[in-house]
Amino acid sequence: MVWEPSWATWLIEWVRANTDFVSDEGVNHQLFSVRIKPKDVALYQLYTSEREFLASDFGGATALFQVFRSFGFPLILGALAIIMWRLLDWLGFARIDPRNIYSVGSFIFSGFTTLVVTLLFLSIILYFFFLDMSAMLLFNKQHWIDGFFWNFAFVFAVLAIKSIYGWFLFFRNLFLH
């Protein structure tokens, strides 16, 4: 038996209480979601329902891992933003930065670019709220290798934050100066 601190038990129970079972008809729109599909062979062979999975010891370990992934995401994103902020300008993002709008065309282009990278950013955030994806990462290193491309998607998240920050400064300067 492995020792489990009380705070870990509390976090696991918190995730269990705030998890939607996607296969249920009435989705309550909780913070986390889980769905075990037949195509998820490794999970489907062990657990035939989401409730069975989440009640198991492996489901508890997945819930704790999910908490660390979800709360670590903003920290990783902040560190990447600090590292990449000037690099993005050097690579040409300064041309489409909302702070550098000089015409109606650049306003429209910058707005469209912000919309695209923000939608990509939101899709990346959704990746961190599905427990079944975290469970697959806990099985073996092949799932980490298969999901490695998601690490490059953080660039879109940093672009979205930089662009939204640029719009904030644009409108602040427009209305306050």
Q: Extract the tokens encoding 50.
A: 């989401």
Rounded distance between C-alpha atoms, residue 160 and residue 162, angstroms: 5
Model pLDDT, residue 168: 92
Sign (positive or negative) of CA dihedral 177, 110, 167, 95:
negative
- Which is nearest to 42 in space by CA: 135, 107, 129? 135
Q: Please determine, for residue 1, whether its predicted confidence score (pLDDT) is greater than 50.
A: no
Q: Domain extents for the chain? A: 6-176
Q: For the whole prediction, is pTM greater than 0.75?
A: no
For 76-97, how does the pLDDT look when each residue is reduced to its tens digit (9 = 90+)?
A: 888 888 888 888 888 888 888 8
Grouping H, G, I as helix, E, B as strand and the rest as coil, residue 84 is helix
Grouping H, G, I as helix, E, B as strand and the rest as coil, residue 44 is helix
3-state SS, one letter per residue, for 150-175: HHHHHHHHHHHHHHHHHHHHHHHHHH
The model's confidence at residue 10, banded by pLDDT at 50, 70 and 90, is very high
Q: Please determine, for residue 98, whether its predicted confidence score (pLDDT) is greater than 80.
A: yes
For 118-173, how does the pLDDT look when each residue is reduced to its tens digit (9 = 90+)?
A: 888 887 777 666 666 777 777 777 777 777 777 777 788 888 888 888 899 888 98
Contacts of range 74-83, beta carbons closer than 8 Å, 24 or more positions apart: 76/154, 77/154, 77/157, 77/158, 77/161, 80/154, 80/155, 80/157, 80/158, 81/158, 81/161, 81/162
Q: Which residue has the tokens 């902020």?
A: 85
Q: Is 24 left (phi over 0), alpha (psi -120 to 50) or beta?
A: beta
